């Protein structure tokens, strides 16, 4: 009797369901580097390097804990380069009598796993991924019968379920569920921004860097410097460092953007969370502990915990509720091709150039850069949401479809018709000027409303509202915006729209191939 336990690249946790309650003497853990996964979109080089290095270190850790590990490297000549091919081959090699695996986090992968039993000809047990706080069943139960599925109500349930920041009488600590109104400070110069810890590559990572440069050298993004945490110990260090240097100011400056400060007070823990190096509950407990010790204020700790037990869990629930249709939703009928500038960063719009430049360098941008610079621009410009989604899937180190797609198609592009967001996240140049230092060194003038030097966000903003008047003018949360639009003279309205149109004509569509999809 040999049980084969395939562990995927985002399941790198020794407490994974498939590794529990198994006799390790009768099991083989299979880790596989496969071309199919590395190229279903042409991921950022840093992301591939991170995954391979974290997988290789995880394989070593498992072995040190007494597991028999079969690790298939990308350049193994016998590698079939697909999950299914490798499971089939390993099942034969080890004369496996059954397969035990945790459900893939993405729809595409789960479909493949469901076919394994038939293809290999032995039983295949697919276990729920219980690294999440809310099971998919529990999410369906919460969603059942509700007219709208807003995150805020889901989040309160998760607070009660976990007991995080809760008083013994089931009321929220601090007397409120949400402290977001305290979390809108502008960036400030002269602040002592923390410098993220650098994890210098060890020989395992150096090997991977060579491989990635050789095999994926034409993918988007800079491979080096590579200083990401790749082991559980390093991830725990990164968590400690965030809690001690950044958490207390996380809330205040959560929405701020500043040139040269890629991370500000953000945690950068998304890739460790999404790949299993850290668990969401341990991260939230560490933050709650800092609050209890008086080391971080409630607005920061509540805001941080909400992102994880609220947004992160909610996005996963929404993804699985609506897949596979979710991926092709385009409620606003947006068809403009993705412009080349998303790949090159060559644009006179400084906010876009900064955010894309940083993305190329770090495979990271923080939430407001993704939502209110890149996503906002894509939405206002009417870019095709599927092309936008593919771009996001390629460029960020934390991009896995279950979390990327609902954030892009739902939250950012309103392409789900408003299931996730009650109104589109759009803003003019005034918002970007308020929350960043980008406008000061921009070719465009954020104060100009129309004409060739006007900030494109200003003209595109009004053009978007005019384009979608029928859909949004009755939305109670957008009434004030439309009231302003209706106060403009017809001539002014025409000026806005023609300036927007002139700008949109300057966008060159991306040459095909960057994302890697046909």
32 close to 86: Cβ distance less than 8 angstroms: yes
Residue 444 interacting partner from ligand DLZ, ligand FAD, ligand SF4, none (CB closer than 5 to 8 Å by kind):
ligand SF4
Smallest gap from residue 388 Cβ to ligand DLZ (A): 19
Question: Which of 366, 429, 461, 514 contacts ligand SF4 by CB under 6 A?
Answer: 429
Region of 463 (left: φ > 0; alpha: ψ -120 to 50; beta: rest) is alpha
Which residues in 82-141 contact ligand DLZ (CB under 6 A)?
104-106, 109
3-state secondary structure of 244: helix
Nearer to ligand FAD, 67 or 438 (CB): 438
Binding-site size, ligand SF4 (CB under 6 A): 14
| Eight-state DSSP code of residue 193 | P
Nearer to ligand FAD among residue 269 and residue 381 (C-beta)? 269
Dist CA 302 CA 287 (whole Å): 9
Residues in contact with ligand FAD, shown as a per-residue x/- string from 253 to 292 under the rule CB under 6 A: -------------xxxxx--xx------------------
Does 385 contact ligand DLZ by CB under 6 A?
A: no
Task: Centre a 10 Å sphere on the Cβ of residue 487 and count the other Cβ atoms it contains.
Answer: 8
Binding span for ligand FAD by CB under 6 A among 156-164, 402-410, 438-446, 501-509: 402-410
The C-alpha angle with vertex 474 and arms to 469 and 476, in degrees rounded to 5, equals 125
Binds ligand SF4 (CB under 6 A): choice among 442, 507, 510, 515: 442
- CB burial of 327-340 (b: ≥16 within 10 Å; e: otherwise) equals bebeebebeeebbb
Strands 98-102 and 68-72: unpaired
Q: How far apart are the first and last CA of the chain?
A: 43
Rg from Cα positions in the chain: 24
**Which partner, ligand SF4, ligand DLZ, ligand FAD, none, binds residue 456 by CB below 5 to 8 Å per kind?**
ligand SF4
Segment near ligand FAD (CB under 6 A); pick from 9-17, 342-350, 404-412, 491-499: 404-412
Residue closer to ligand SF4, measured from CB, 273 or 374? 374
**298: helix, coil or strand?**
helix
> Which tokens in the block code for residue 149?
């599925």
351 binds, among ligand FAD, ligand DLZ, ligand SF4, none (CB under 5 to 8 A by kind): ligand SF4
- 400: burial class by Cβ within 10 Å (0-12, 13-18, 19+)? buried
Q: Using CA atoms, how far apart are residues 123 and 230, in angstroms rounded to an integer? A: 33
Residue 34 near ligand DLZ by CB under 6 A: yes
Shortest approach of ligand DLZ to residue 227 CB, angstroms?
19
30 bridge partner residues: 6, 70
User: Which partner in ligand SF4, ligand FAD, ligand DLZ, none is near 139 (CB below 5 to 8 A by kind)?
Assistant: none
Q: Write down the H helix ranges in 94-191.
A: 107-116, 136-143, 151-162
We find the least distance from the C-beta atom of residue 439 to ligand SF4, in angstroms, to be: 3
The partner in contact with residue 350, picked from ligand SF4, ligand FAD, ligand DLZ, none with C-beta cut-offs of 5 to 8 angstroms by kind, is ligand SF4
DSSP, residue by residue, 206-226: HHHHHHHHHHHTTSSS---S-
Q: Does 48 bind ligand FAD (CB under 6 A)?
A: no
Looking at 32, 134, 283, 455, which residue binds ligand DLZ (CB under 6 A)?
Answer: 32
Instruction: Write out the two tokens for 98.
Output: 């059954």
Is residue 342 within the footprint of ligand SF4 (CB under 6 A)?
no
- The residue within the footprint of ligand DLZ, chosen from 10, 249, 262, 322 (CB under 6 A), is 10
**Residue 446 binds which of ligand SF4, ligand DLZ, ligand FAD, none (CB < 5-8 A, kind-dependent):** ligand SF4
Q: State both tokens at 141.
A: 């139960």
Residue selected from 19, 48, 283, 368 as contacting ligand DLZ according to rule CB under 6 A = 48
Q: Which residues contact 494 (CB under 8 A, 6 or more apart)?
A: none
Distance CA 438, CA 460 (A): 18
- Interface map 420-459 toward ligand FAD (x if CB under 6 A): ----------------------------------------
Q: Does 362 bind ligand DLZ (CB under 6 A)?
A: no
Picking from 404, 57, 3, the residue whose alpha carbon sits closest to that of residue 203 is 57
CB 95: neighbour CB atoms within 10 A?
Answer: 11
Quick check: helix, strand or coil at residue 277? coil
Q: What is the dihedral of CA 153, 155, 160, 161, to 10 degrees?
A: 120
Which residue ranges make up the site for ligand DLZ (CB under 6 A)?
A: 8-10, 32-34, 37-38, 43, 48, 51, 104-106, 109, 400
Which residue ranges make up the site for ligand SF4 (CB under 6 A)?
A: 349-351, 429, 432-433, 438-439, 442, 444, 446, 455-457
Which residue ranges make up the site for ligand FAD (CB under 6 A)?
A: 266-270, 273-274, 304, 307-308, 311-312, 315, 366-367, 370-371, 375, 392, 396, 398-399, 403-404, 407-408, 411-412
């Amino acid at each position: 009797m040999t049980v084969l336990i395939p562990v995927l690249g985002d399941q790198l946790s020794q407490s994974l369901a498939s590794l529990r309650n198994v006799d390790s003497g009768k099991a083989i853990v299979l880790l596989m580097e496969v071309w199919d996964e590395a190229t279903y979109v042409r991921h950022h080089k840093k992301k591939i390097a991170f995954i391979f290095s974290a997988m290789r270190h995880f394989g070593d850790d498992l072995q040190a804990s007494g597991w028999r590990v079969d690790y298939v490297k990308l350049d193994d000549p016998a590698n079939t380069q697909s999950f299914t091919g490798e499971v089939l081959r390993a099942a034969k090699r080890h004369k496996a009598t059954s397969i035990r695996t945790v459900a893939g986090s993405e729809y595409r992968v789960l479909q493949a796993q469901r076919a394994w039993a038939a293809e290999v000809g032995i039983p295949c047990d697919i276990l729920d991924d219980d690294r999440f706080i809310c099971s998919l069943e529990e999410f369906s139960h919460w969603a059942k019968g509700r007219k709208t599925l807003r995150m805020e109500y889901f989040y309160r349930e998760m607070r009660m379920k976990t007991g995080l920041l809760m008083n013994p009488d089931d009321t929220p600590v601090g007397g409120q569920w949400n402290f977001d109104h305290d979390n809108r400070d502008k960036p400030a110069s002269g602040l002592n921004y923390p410098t993220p810890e650098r994890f210098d590559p060890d020989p395992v990572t150096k090997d991977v860097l060579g491989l990635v440069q050789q095999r994926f050298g034409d993918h988007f993004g800079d491979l080096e410097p590579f200083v990401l945490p790749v082991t559980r110990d390093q991830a725990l260090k990164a968590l400690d460092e965030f809690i001690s240097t950044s958490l207390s100011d996380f809330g205040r400056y959560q929405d701020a953007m500043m040139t040269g400060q890629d991370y500000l007070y953000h945690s950068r823990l998304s890739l460790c969370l999404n790949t299993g190096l850290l668990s969401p509950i341990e991260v939230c407990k560490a933050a709650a502990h800092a609050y209890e010790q008086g080391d971080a204020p409630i607005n920061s700790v509540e805001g941080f915990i909400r992102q994880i037990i609220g947004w992160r869990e909610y996005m996963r629930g929404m993804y699985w509720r609506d897949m596979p249709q979710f991926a092709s939703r385009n409620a606003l009928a947006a068809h403009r091709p993705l412009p080349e500038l998303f790949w090159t960063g060559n644009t006179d719009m400084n906010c876009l150039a900064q955010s894309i430049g940083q993305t190329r360098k770090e495979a990271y941008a923080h939430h407001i850069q993704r939502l209110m610079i890149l996503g906002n621009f894509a939405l206002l410009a009417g870019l095709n949401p599927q092309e936008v989604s593919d771009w996001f899937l390629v460029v960020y180190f934390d991009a896995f479809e279950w979390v990327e797609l609902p954030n892009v198609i739902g939250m950012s592009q309103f392409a789900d018709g408003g299931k996730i967001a009650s109104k589109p996240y759009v803003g003019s140049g005034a918002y970007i000027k308020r929350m960043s230092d980008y406008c000061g060194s921009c070719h465009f003038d954020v104060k100009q409303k129309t004409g060739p030097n006007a900030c494109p966000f200003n003209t595109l903003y009004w053009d978007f509202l005019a384009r979608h008047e029928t859909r949004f003018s009755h939305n109670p949360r957008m009434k004030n915006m439309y009231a302003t639009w209706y106060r403009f003279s017809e001539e002014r309205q025409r000026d806005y729209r023609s300036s927007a149109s002139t700008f949109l004509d300057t966008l060159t569509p991306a040459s095909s191939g960057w994302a890697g999809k046909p």
